[in-house]
Amino acid sequence: MERFIENYSGEKFDLIIIGGGITGATVAYDAASRGLSVALIEKKDFGWATSSATSKLIHGGLRYLANMEFDIVRESLRERRILSNIAPNLVYPMPVMLTCYNTHRINSFWNLKIGMILYDLLSFDKGFTWDKSKKIPFHKTISVKKAVELEPVVKKEGLKGAHIYYDCASLYPERLTLAFIKSAVRQGARVSNYAKAQEFIFSGHDEISGVKVKNLLSGEDVELKGKLMINCSGPWADEILGLTSDKLRKKSIVRSEGIHIITRNLTCDHTVTYSKSSNTGFFMLPWRGHTLIGLTDKQYTGAPDKYKVTKESILELLGTVNAYLGEEKKINYEDILYAYGGLRPLVDDESQNTRQMSRKYEIYDNAEEGIKGMITVEGGKYTTSRNLAENVMKVVGKKMKKNIGKCITHKQHLVSCEISDLPAFLKKIKKKSPDIVEKTIGWLGRLYGTEYHRVIEMAGTDKTLLKPINHDGEILAQVLYALKNEMAKTLQDIVFRRTGIGTLGNPGKELIKKVADISAEYLGWDEKKKTEEISGTLRSFKLPS
What CATH number labels 58-170+254-350?
Answer: 3.30.9.10
419, 463, 399: which is closest to 86 by C-alpha?
419
pLDDT, tens digit (0-9, with 9 covering 90-100), for 24-67 = 999 999 999 999 999 999 999 999 999 999 999 999 989 889 88
Q: What is the pLDDT averaged over residues 510-518?
A: 98
Q: Measure the N-to-C terminal CA separation of the chain; round to a whole number of Å.
A: 39
pLDDT at 346 over 90: no
The whole-angstrom separation of Cα 122 and Cα 76 is: 10
For the four alpha carbons of 343, 346, 349 and 351, in that order, the dihedral sign comes to: negative
> C-alpha distances in angstroms, 384 versus 76, 148, 379, 381?
6, 34, 11, 6
E strands, 140-215, where? 140-142, 161-170, 190-192, 195-203, 207-215
Domain layout of the chain by residue ranges: 5-50+174-252+359-400, 58-170+254-350, 422-534
Q: What is the pLDDT averaged over residues 235-239?
A: 93
Residue-wise burial string across 144-176, b where 16 or more C-beta atoms lie within 10 A, e elsewhere: beebbebbebbbeeebbbbbbbbbbbbbbbbbb
DSSP state of 295: -
- Cα 180 to the center of its chain, rounded Å: 11
What pLDDT score does 423 carry?
A: 97
278, 295, 239: which is closest to 357 by C-alpha?
278
What pLDDT score does 446 carry?
A: 97
The residues, any chain, with a CB within 8 Å of residue 238's CB and separated by 6 or more, are 250, 251, 253
> C-alpha distances in angstroms, 69 versus 75, 192, 274, 280?
10, 37, 21, 19
Confidence band, pLDDT 50/70/90 cuts, at residue 251: low
Confidence band, pLDDT 50/70/90 cuts, at residue 351: low
Q: What is the pLDDT averaged over residues 430-439?
A: 95
pLDDT at 354 over 80: no
The whole-angstrom separation of Cα 49 and Cα 78 is: 25
Domain 422-534 has CATH 1.10.8.870: yes
- Report the CATH fold assignment for 5-50+174-252+359-400: FAD/NAD(P)-binding domain (3.50.50)
CA dihedral 303, 25, 53, 466 (to 10 degrees): -130
What is the helix, strand, coil percentage profile of the chain, to 5?
Answer: 40, 25, 35
Across-strand partners of 223? Answer: 212
pLDDT, tens digit (0-9, with 9 covering 90-100), for 296-309 = 888 999 999 999 99
No. of helices (H) and no. of strands (E), the chain:
15, 18
* Confidence (pTM): 0.96
155, 27, 93, 175: which is closest to 496 by C-alpha?
175
